[in-house]
Amino acid sequence: MDREAATDLVRGLVEIPSLSRQESVATAWLAAQMRGSGFDRAFVDDAGNAVGELGDPKAARTIVLLGHIDTVPGNIPVRIEDDALYGRGSVDAKGPLATFVAGAARFGSAAAKAAGLHVVVVGAVEEEAATSKGARFIASRFNGKSEPIPTACIIGEPSHWNRVTLGYKGRLLMDFTADQPMAHTAGPDASVASVVVDFWNWVTAHADRANDGKDKVFDQLSPSLRRFITSTNDQMHDTVDAQFAWRIPVGFDAEAFMTELRQAVSGFSEITTFNLKFRGYERAWRGDRNNPLVRSFLAGLRSIEPSEKLGFVLKSGTSDMNVVGPQWQCPIVAYGPGDSALDHTPNEHLPIEEYWKAVNVIEQTLIAFSNTIPRT
């Protein structure tokens, strides 16, 4: 696949809207593109993922390139302007996904078979919905029973073409309501809104204590207030509907923390009833840089720019690495062209030159990685 074809691929993918749970048109299109680009097999699986495979499924080792095809909302007119592709998903994360498809196509079926390597490219669904339905399905497919656990995995997320991401913080979401009987504002009891503010202040103070002595953001507990809505029900009760969220560090005991939160709310007001619901929990995950996958990336990068140094990043968000990393326990990094600061923004765009460099890095990384695998 040459530069023009690779550019057509990423533009075509970005042009198809694919909000979370509305990805079917895009996944069918991408599977067809992979079939036409020399993949041995390409299909939409039972979770709705677009999957393309090179080489023998029974090969000695498997490498999974796991991107996501869904996007957040936002209508950005798709265009190429000043050699940059504008459009929702161009950076997060259709650009990295198209990089995987184009780079794997350039590596090719013959090379995969000669190396005894099974290459699996996945455009996963529902990553942005905090369900990671597609990644969970792939994690269960390669479970060491029905199919072997992958030898290595690359997650498709933007990090610039010359950097890889080694880890992501975890996540915990808490939706809750706080309810109490209406009272006159001049009365002695605090309003339900004030009680929830006290709860939020407790949360931030708890994080400050947990973060004492921890200078790096990746190692810190980071709370955020996502929603705060006050209302009156049937003219008899005042209610707050809110969401608190946390980015959590490696090794954090989420179960103990949830218990602590349930206990804490009982002490804020005798007349306030809290209903806490936890969801979206993902463990933090951090990989190492001393493994065949990272060394293959270093070789791939240097084959494109001999003097370029491979950068390493730790991110405070989450990705599908949080889903498959703990299950597979294999060498894993995240990679993809684009500036992650543009994720979800109205100005989301991907420089074509950077994208093309990343395509070639993936091709050369697969070549280097295949050379570490015994031929069968």
Q: Which residues are catalytic, by number?
A: 70, 127
Query: Other CB atoms closer than 10 Å to residue 124's CB: what's the count?
Result: 32
Which position has the token pair 């695998």? 373
Spell 74-97 as b/e; 16+ CB within 10 A means b.
Answer: eebebeeeeeebbbbbbbbbbbbb
Q: Please give the sequence-ordered ranges of beta strands (E in DSSP) within the chain, or none if there are none.
A: 41-44, 50-54, 61-68, 79-81, 84-86, 117-124, 152-156, 160-168, 170-181, 222-233, 237-248, 273-282, 285-286, 311-315, 332-336, 349-351
Q: Contact at 8 Å (CB) between 270 and 309?
A: no
Residue 236, helix vs strand vs coil: coil
Q: How far is CA 274 from CA 18, 181, 227, in A?
A: 36, 13, 15
Q: How far is CA 177 from CA 139, 224, 305, in A?
A: 34, 17, 54
Q: CA nearest 38: which of 3, 85, 5?
A: 5
Q: Which two tokens stand for residue 364?
A: 């050369």
Residue 120, helix vs strand vs coil: strand
Q: Contact at 8 Å (CB) between 291 and 331?
A: yes
Alpha-carbon gap, residue 307 to 34, rounded angstroms: 33
Pairing of strands 41-44, 50-54: antiparallel
